[in-house]
Amino acid sequence: MLNYYKGFVKDTLSIKDAVKKIDQNKLNSLITYNYKKKVTGIFTMGDFRRAVFFGLDIENKISSIINKNYKYLIEGFSKHDVNKIFMNDEILDIPVLNKNHQLLKIISRSTFFSRKKLSKNNINFSNFPVVIMAGGKGTRLDPFTRILPKPLIPFGDKPIIRVIMDNFKKFGSNKFHITVNEKSSMIKAYFYECKTLYKIKYISEKKPLGTAGSLKLLKNKLKNTFFVTNSDILIHFNYPSILAFHKKNNYDVTLVSSNRNYIIPYGVCNFNKVGELKNINEKPNYNFFVNTGLYIIEPKVLKLIPKNIKFDMTELLDKVGKSKMRVGVFPISENSWMDIGQWSEYNKNVKKFNF
């Protein structure tokens, strides 16, 4: 039985810990087993997202949401059997079991196929441009940003903005629109000097336009669905899967949201209206889903942005909803998002990032 596989876990594991396991080991899925070491199901990030949508507590056991009707092979299978499953299902891993339903090995889609196109529904990612909002002052990173613009703050051996672009490049994207204002000449000089392979167009703000206002300057220039990202975040995730989610559900905007866990380091007092203590909740643990600063937007949304005034993304999302357009939320795990726009987060993430 395959005991050494890092993705082979007990089905009593919590949803939160299962997601961490996938993140830390860069796995496609987890294979779960019971007290008899028999395989009981498969857990993926898709199961995690469904749990979030249904409002399930991520402290629950993964046994409550695993796919128990998963595809698998029994020892003695043929290549034809493997190919048939991969061609008919959008799955990434197939467990191989013995007659006692115990795990023998894993067959991954990426290793089974030698060609790059791994999915029959694969999206050509290069057709979807990326807008990087790089015009802010970066006050949370003061005093560095008194000298350097926030997008050029070093993260390893590259500036933050280059790391963001490299992440998109991994999936085939090389068309970038960069909104600039504060210290824009330094940003342009960097890309001129390093001579990247990226196709870059600059959108210059004459005055600060907020976190969404400068997108108005792209109206009639963007004809296709596009990504928007802040210049102080890093998302380590499969971008095409976010795009597929956006397209499948016909959203006008998709917001990428990350789980955040907070522990109150005190005993929290609960009391009634007359001041009598009910109980003390010692160091309570709370989970929230927060906005990461990464979006997918349809071009028609740009018409909702007012011209030449400060306008933030929260205002745009509110306006999209009131216009009866649809806003989707794509949840990712806490470890998939790095907020590097403030010193505490910057220092923490520099230490854990593999350069």
Q: How far apart are CA 274 and CA 320, in angstroms?
A: 44
Provide the 8-state DSSP code for 306.
P
3-class DSSP state of 150 = helix
pTM of the predicted model as reported, rounded to 2 decimal places? 0.77
pLDDT at 1 over 60: no
pLDDT in tens, 290-345: 999 999 999 999 999 999 899 999 999 999 999 989 999 999 988 888 887 666 66
Query: What sign has the CA pseudo-torsion 88, 245, 69, 78?
Result: positive
Q: Mean pLDDT, to the nearest integer, of 136-148?
A: 66
The values of phi and psi at residue 4, to 5°, are -85, -10
Give the Å distances, CA to CA, from 175 to 48, 171, 243.
31, 12, 16
pLDDT at 353 over 70: no
pLDDT in tens, 244-289: 999 999 999 999 999 888 888 899 999 888 888 989 999 888 888 8
Domain ranges of the chain: 8-112, 126-352
pLDDT in tens, 37-57: 899 999 998 889 888 888 888
The class (CATH top level) of 126-352 is alpha beta
Specify the residue for token string 């989610």: 245
pLDDT at 36 over 60: yes
Q: How far apart are CA 27 and CA 92, in angstroms?
A: 10
Between strands 29-33 and 39-44, the pairing is antiparallel
Q: How far apart are CA 87 and CA 105, in angstroms?
A: 20
Residue 117 pLDDT level (bands cut at 50, 70, 90): very low
CA 203 to chain centroid, in Å, comes to 25
* Domains 8-112 and 126-352 are alike in CATH topology: no
Q: Which residue did the predictor score with more confidence, 320 or 134?
A: 320
Closest to 12 (Cα-Cα) out of 55, 65, 79, 80: 65
pLDDT at 115 over 50: no
pLDDT in tens, 170-211: 888 889 999 988 677 888 888 887 666 788 999 888 888 888
pLDDT, position 230: 93
Closest to 338 (Cα-Cα) out of 268, 267, 254, 237: 237
Q: Mean pLDDT, to the nearest integer, of 145-164?
A: 82
Instruction: State which CATH number among 3.10.580.10, 3.40.50.720, 3.20.20.80, 2.60.40.10 fits the domain covering 8-112.
Output: 3.10.580.10
pLDDT at 110 over 80: no
The residue type at 97? L
* Averaged pLDDT of the chain: 85
- Among the residue ranges 19-28, 73-82, 132-141, 261-270, the one predicted with the least confidence is 132-141
Between strands 73-74 and 103-108, the pairing is unpaired
